[in-house]
Amino acid sequence: MSRKSLDAFPDHAVSATAAAEAPWPVRRRHREKYAMNKELLAFIIVAVLLAVVPFTFGTSTTFIAMSLAKGLAVLGILILLRAGQVSFGHAMYFAIGAYAAAFLSSAFRGIDMLLLIGAAILASGVAGAIVGIFVTRYRGIFFGMVNLAFSMVFYSILEKAFHITGGSDGMRIRRPTLLGMELKRAEFDIAIYYVILLFALLSVWLVWRYLRSPMGEALRAVKSNETRLEYVGLSAKSVLLGGYIASAVLCGIGGVFMGMVQGLATPEHAFWTRSSELVFIAALGGPAHVAGAFGGTVVFEAVRTYAAALLDDSWQLILGVTLIVIILWAPGGMVELFRRLTGLDRAKTLTPEAGR
Amino acid sequence: MIFNKLSLGGVLAAAMSAAALTSAAWAADKPSELKIGITTYSSGSASVFGVPARHAAEILAEGINAKGGINGVPVKLYFIDEGAGLETLMAEYRRLVEDEGVDVTFASISSGVCNKMAPLAEDLEVVNFMWDCGTQRILEDDKYDYVFRTQANATPEVLAPLAYLLKTNPDFKTIAVVNQDYAWGRDSWEIFSNALKTQRPDVKVVAELFPAFGAADFSTEVSRLQALKPDVILSTSWGGDLDTFVRQAKQRGLFESSKFVLPLAESSLQRLRDDLPEGVIVGARGDHYFLHPETRNDEKFKAFNEKFKERTGEYPIYSAAHMVQAFAALEAVYDKAIKANGGEWPTKEQIAEAMIGLNFKGLGRPLVIREDGQAIEAQLVGTTAKRDGYDFKVIDQMEIYDGKDLMAPVGEKSLAWISKFKADFLSKVPATPYRHQ
Amino acid sequence: MTPNFAVLALLDGIAYASLLFLVAVGLTLVFGVLGILNIAHGSLYAIGAYVAATLGQWLVANGYNPWLTFPALFAGATVVGIALGGMLERFLLQRIYKKDEVLQLLVTFAVFMILENLQRMIWGVQPYFMSTPLNLLGNISFLGINYTAYQVLFLPAAAIVVLFALRHFLRHTAIGAQILAVTEDREAATSIGINATRVYFMTFVIGACFAALGGALATPTTSLVTGMGANMIVLSFAVAATAGLGQIEGAAVSALMIGVARAFAVYLSPELEVIMPYLIMVLVLLVKPNGLFGKDTARKI
């Protein structure tokens, strides 16, 4: 059977910086600058709104903290999507982040939160580098499958090594100190919210920069034209490896935050449905923009948490139908819908592919 | 909640909350209802065990409310599904305590869940009854102010069946274990095997199998056990897992070559019917049995059995009995705390204080909560038999053991206590024998 | 441990492999022809099992001849395969054939979520049993060990029949030839008058029937619980990927490998049982990314 080139998401939806082929480069650049200022403004507004959540919507603090943690992992998926690759095993790095915290917090009671985060970054980065060396040889569906295979091996180990990992019961993550301060639960909930928010904003900024950097452009070339990459002397494998490690680390950070908020590391974190969920959210939110990762997560988690109010036990049904509708009619996800609604991206939605 | 959070930034708010705390220390307003959060399995293979407990809780709550509630305060139940996975469970538990303002929680069935839930309850400062989970570790490893267990723990629950086995089948030479792969399956085997070593060091363990919790197929395990032909097969599994294992083992004649010891199988008798043969040693993690030889004629016992049968079409199993104990402890502790508080509605601190030394009675022998928060509960073990009038196996040749004889003393860990057993310790543990009537 | 244990482990492994193969073959067939890796295959498996169990329980409860539960297994599977599989292909998959494979994968994942939810809504969350067919066939004794005839005779026989029937169907019938032609080159096949749309539809329905059949035939050996579809789909992925996606005979071989390895683990080192399928998958894919029997051309560089 023939293998189509992997083109998960129409290019127009993927990048607002596809200026190279633009017919009117000058106008385009102008518009971009304007758009970027707007984006920066939006970024600041969202950051401020999130920063006041504990004072305005106190009861949602933990919900948003968990959404942001998961959004960090989705951000990692987004990086790979730029390279046209989809991993069905990234929940493994999420679990690695959580378990790193679990092991350390039970070995050293009262360990500092920053150390746990550092350990999670290190562990997921190293794991990402090792696994990445193998999996970056593959593309497309094989890339997805090999990642799946690794994550299921890891999942089975977590589930079976009862005396080390707590088996299917998982491990408790004891509440860490923050900068040496012992926190009560309510204080900890607020404190970790701000730490997560800080990391989320920082990651958004870094990923944004990364995707606009030459390495980020090279990552896009892995998707569109690997040979071109080789012409300019870049190895597609190492470009992809860089993106892979970055995505693994983001998942690891997401995992350590989720673990600390819940006080729990469980093998469920690494199960394949979780990996698929991350990809699902990326598609739901829209891979075109870093905002999609977090917007998608909030919608996903909100439906999951509150759908029961509408119709008992129906969140999978609602989300499944939503995703199908999005893929069939708005493959750019919520980001594209937003752009269509606000008219921010009118020129692009008029391209013939947009209606697909 | 909100001002708690503000206290992080504001000295004023901190002072306010401190003031609120001190005033709360000696009086509490009588609430309009007493909210109880209960975790039980309502989905998955363990739900066959969890749903009867839920029915029991509803019957009991209706009963309490029909007579005007607890000191005039009606109870309201909130159920959380343990089958939904730890993450969802813990999030929902927190939501119930923090947002819904639940006063008391009963958590939980699974030992794996209890291991996570007990620290969470302590952290949230909510009074929690571990109403069914078995692992002995929680109250032995840590000291808790808000966590209590209204039933026994793994130690007497597996030592009693072991004592029974040693008495009724003294000659066995080999044993194999098939337990669920989670805290209960692992901890119960650790206790059983360590105790067995002290009593019968010559017995050889020929296989230790730990299929996953919720496993739906035991074919290969059954083949291996047939090949090994151990004299005794122990399984502390329960719920749908135990049912499936027994059915597959029965189908392939495993019961004919090995003696089965199923310390939790009282809860599966009515579902398994003829799939469970005669001559199997069964227990009930306590003295729970719908024909309890000592209490079957008590009014409370009869009334509950009738209501339960009427609602579900079945006799109560031990998960229902454990729920009865949790409610009995709840009523008893509120009575005690209100009396101690001069008739005023007690604070949660006063409730927690009143738990120590609390006497209460479920459907079996009376129970008491020790100073470490652990209840002492009698144990009933017997052998399955076919008797007229029942389309499932009943328990015959029963022995009831007093809980205190089989518990590690306060402050001592079970495994350390067991390691000091004399070689005839278990054969000398007193028990009261009963026959099926 | 007796030296016979290898033979015993082999028998257990074959019984398990037969079920794995039945499910994986549908998955790999659909991928081979349509190029879609259908995650919802796992839901079809679960729903096939639930329908078969419901039908069987109904027959037994209403006093019909218990042997009727055998045709009920097949009838249930066929109904699920044709009705559900047919609807999926006709109303959803037909819209996404031109889309990228990752989007296709996500659509099937969305379908998986929807079906998991519907399955809970219809059958609830408590376990189901229906072991009548297994009890009817009784036991056979081998080396002093009792096996159920259902597991060591009936299931392998069913798997072998499916394997050879499918081979015959693809190689020696007109429709089979059309399917192969469309697989080879859809454009060319269409130009010589083959109705590719119909071929896709039929292939998907056949694949769905196999998934449902796997579920239906598994029913007597197990208890049906929520989440069984999620576990089965990832196992049959392991089988299909180890063999090479689209390899039908290969799937039989890798199902055997995985089934037997798992059974040996239970005898030798039970802790490794769960990890075996995925370990094999990782090792094979690292050495041969296209699977044991896959062709190298499939890889895009």
Question: Which domains are seen in chain B, by residue range?
Answer: 31-151+298-373 (3.40.50.2300), 155-284+378-434 (3.40.50.2300)
Residue to test with chain C: of A162, A324, A336, most C Cβ within 10 A: A324
User: Searching chain A, which residue's CA lies closest to the CA of residue B213?
Assistant: A168
Which residue would you say has higher pLDDT here, B78 or C185? B78
Interface subset of C 79-98, CB within 8 angstroms of A: 92, 95-96
Please give the pLDDT value at position C20.
95
Q: How far apart are CA C87 and CA C4, in angstroms?
A: 49
* pTM listed for this prediction: 0.88
Biggest CA–CA distance in chain C, Å, is 63
Q: What is the pLDDT along chain C (301 residues), one digit of tens a residue?
A: 455 788 888 999 999 999 999 999 999 999 999 988 999 999 999 999 999 999 999 999 999 999 999 999 999 999 999 999 999 999 999 988 888 888 888 999 999 999 999 998 999 888 888 889 998 999 998 888 889 999 999 999 999 999 999 999 999 999 899 999 988 888 888 888 888 899 999 999 999 999 999 999 999 998 898 889 999 999 999 999 999 888 899 999 999 999 999 999 988 888 888 899 999 999 998 888 888 887 754 433 2
Task: Please name the chains neighbouring B, where neighbouring means 3+ C-beta pairs under 8 angstroms.
Answer: A, C
User: Searching chain C, which residue's CA lies closest to the CA of residue A276?
Assistant: C109
Q: Which amino acid belongs to residue B259?
A: K
Mean pLDDT score, B115-144: 93
Partner residue facing B219 (CB), from C2, C144, C151? C151
Partner residue facing C127 (CB), from B228, B240, B253? B240
Residue to test with chain C: of B80, B177, B218, B219, most C Cβ within 10 A: B219
Rounded to 5, what percent of chain A is helix, strand, coil?
75, 0, 20
Please report where in the chains the tokens 């001849």 appear, as a residue: C65
Contact B213 A168 (CB under 8 A): yes
Q: How far apart are CA B401 and CA C185, in angstroms?
A: 76
Partner residue facing A140 (CB), from C121, C274, C300? C300
Contact C274 A226 (CB under 8 A): no
DSSP assignment of B182-206: SHHHHHHHHHHHHHHHHH-TT-EEE
Please give the pLDDT value at position A354.
32
- The tokens for C106 are 């996500």
Q: Which of B112, B109, B143 is nearest to B129 (CA)?
A: B109
List strands edge to edge, sheet with B104-106.
B75-81, B34-40, B104-106, B127-130, B147-149
Please give the pLDDT value at position A29.
57
**Min Cα separation B187/chain C (Å):** 17
Given a contact cutoff of 8 angstroms between Cβ atoms, the answer to whether B426 and B159 are in contact is yes
Q: What is the pLDDT of residues A2-19, one digit of tens each?
A: 333 334 444 444 444 443
Residue to test with chain B: of A55, A168, A315, most B Cβ within 10 A: A168
**Every domain of chain A and the residues it spans:** 59-271
Helix spans in C35-172 (H)? 41-61, 69-80, 86-91, 101-123, 132-137, 149, 155-172
**Min Cα separation A302/chain B (Å):** 13
- Chain C residues within 8 Å of chain B (Cβ atoms): 1-2, 4-5, 8-9, 11-12, 15-16, 120, 125-127, 129, 131, 134-135, 139, 144-148, 151, 221-228, 262-263, 266-267, 270-271, 273-274
Give ∠ CA B27-B28-B34 in degrees, rounded to 5: 150
Please list every residue in chain B whose beta carbon sits closer than 8 Å to the beta carbon of residue C272: none
Interface subset of C 150-189, CB within 8 angstroms of A: 183
Mean pLDDT score, B347-372: 94
Task: Please name the chains neighbouring A, where neighbouring means 3+ C-beta pairs under 8 angstroms.
Answer: B, C
Please give the pLDDT value at position C200.
92
Residue contacts between A and C (CB atoms, under 8 Å): 139
- The tokens for C123 are 């059958």
The answer to whether A316 faces chain C, any CB pair under 8 Å, is yes
Please give the pLDDT value at position B19.
44
Please report where in the chains the tokens 């650049």 appear, as a residue: A29
Which of the 8 DSSP states describes residue A345? T
Please give the pLDDT value at position C158.
95
pLDDT band of residue B210 (cuts 50, 70, 90) is very high
Q: Which of A43, A49, A64, A67 is nearest to A284 (CA)?
A: A67
Please give the pLDDT value at position C70.
93
Q: How far apart are CA C15 and CA C8, in angstroms?
A: 11
Q: How far apart are CA A35 and CA B152, in angstroms?
A: 66
Please give the pLDDT value at position A35.
65
**Min Cα separation A190/chain B (Å):** 7
Given a contact cutoff of 8 angstroms between Cβ atoms, the answer to whether A301 and A280 are in contact is no
Please list every residue in chain B whose beta carbon sits closer than 8 Å to the beta carbon of residue C9: 220, 223
Which residue would you say has higher pLDDT here, B122 or A334? B122
Interface subset of A 11-70, CB within 8 angstroms of C: none
Output the domain CATH number for residue C85: 1.10.3470
Partner residue facing A172 (CB), from B91, B94, B119? B119
The total of structural domains in chain C comes to 1
Signed CA dihedral, B231, B236, B237, B242: sign only: positive
The answer to whether A167 faces chain B, any CB pair under 8 Å, is yes
Please list every residue in chain C whose beta carbon sits closer than 8 Å to the beta carbon of residue A313: 117, 120-121
Mean pLDDT score, B185-201: 95
Please give the pLDDT value at position A229.
79
Name the residue range of residue C66's domain: 5-298
Q: What is the pLDDT of residues B24-47, one digit of tens each?
A: 445 568 899 999 999 999 888 899
Helix (H), strand (E), coil (C) string for A83-131: CCCCCCCCHHHHHHHHHHHHHHHHHCCCCEHHHHHHHHHHHHHHHHHHH
pLDDT band of residue B132 (cuts 50, 70, 90) is very high
Please list every residue in chain B whose beta carbon sits closer than 8 Å to the beta carbon of residue A263: 90, 116, 119-120, 123
Beta bridge partners of B233: B176, B260
Please give the pLDDT value at position A46.
83
- A22: how many CB neighbours lie within 10 A of its CB? 15
Signed CA dihedral, A122, A123, A127, A130: sign only: positive
User: Searching chain C, which residue's CA lies closest to the CA of residue A278?
Assistant: C106
Residues of chain A falling short of pLDDT 70 = 1-36, 308-309, 343-356
Please give the pLDDT value at position A26.
53
